[in-house]
Amino acid sequence: MTDLFALLRSVDTPTVCNAIETVQGRRGFSGFTRGTMICTAPDDPPLVGYARTAQIAAIDPPTEQPETIRARRMAYYQYMAEAPAPSVAVIEDLDYPDCIGAYWGEINTTVHKGFGMAGALTNGVARDLGDLPEGFPVVAGSIGPSHGFVHVRALDVPVSVFGLTVTPGALIHADRHGAVVIPKEVVTGLAAGIAKLQKTERIVLDAARAPDFDFNRFEQAWEAFERART
């Protein structure tokens, strides 16, 4: 798996989506986010790891007793700290689409990075741009200035982020394009799928980059491409 994780960190999320279909031998894979997300470090390698999930809210103050809220917060941090590497924090903000609580600021990103996590995926808010630690990208729903009444509602539960359902332990790949859950059944064939996909795409790309490229060359390349692709 170490080699696979290194490979996954070297390719973007659209490549992974296409490679999954290559392994499955059909189109129609739908385990990815919808809509435009933001990435706090768009030029960093993708986030790759197993999901540690939680739900938060921030518009309204919590109604439970303070000791209950604090105990859940500490349980959350212990849960993240004990995540098997590589891991990604996947956080659903229950206030979506009206999220105001920037859970992912300088302090929280630094803490989660210190736990050894690869980054975070959320439909919620990030802030402190310019002060976030290097090597911990956050793929988020928006940027905002305030933390509101942010508090943890639940942890280790299925969550929804931009139309993508993520269960605890799911293998995540995310970058500035969004995120995808890699199905367990394709993991063993994914490296070969990526290699086949890249080889197939080069049929058109190499032709288009050639100095003598014209419509006839395109037509020949496209026919070969259609025969080879999923």
Radius of gyration of the chain (CA): 20
pLDDT for 230 equals 64
Across the chain, what does the average pLDDT equal?
A: 97
Secondary structure class of 167 (helix, strand, coil): coil
189 three-class SS: helix
Whether the Cβ atoms of residue 86 and residue 122 lie closer than 8 Å to each other: no
**Residue boundaries of the structural domains of the chain:** 30-182, 194-228
pTM over 0.85: yes
Q: What are the Cα distances from residue 70, in Å, to 63, 79, 214?
A: 13, 14, 66
d(CA 160, CA 31): 11
How many whole angstroms separate alpha carbon 161 and alpha carbon 92?
6
> Of the candidates 104, 110, 109, which has an alpha carbon nearest to the alpha carbon of residue 127?
104
Give the tokens for residue 129.
Answer: 């741009």
CATH node for 30-182: 3.50.30.40
| Cα angle: 51, vertex 138, 11; to 5 degrees | 75
pLDDT tens per residue, range 195-230: 999 999 999 999 999 999 999 999 999 999 999 886
Q: Taking a C-beta distance cutoff of 8 angstroms, is the pair 62, 108 a contact? A: no
The pLDDT tens digits for 60-113 are 999 999 999 999 999 999 999 999 999 999 999 999 999 999 999 999 999 999
How many Å separate Cα 219 from the centre of its chain? 36
Write the Ramachandran bin of 169: left for phi over 0, alpha for psi from -120 to 50, otherwise beta.
left
Please report the pLDDT score of residue 1 as a whole number. Answer: 77
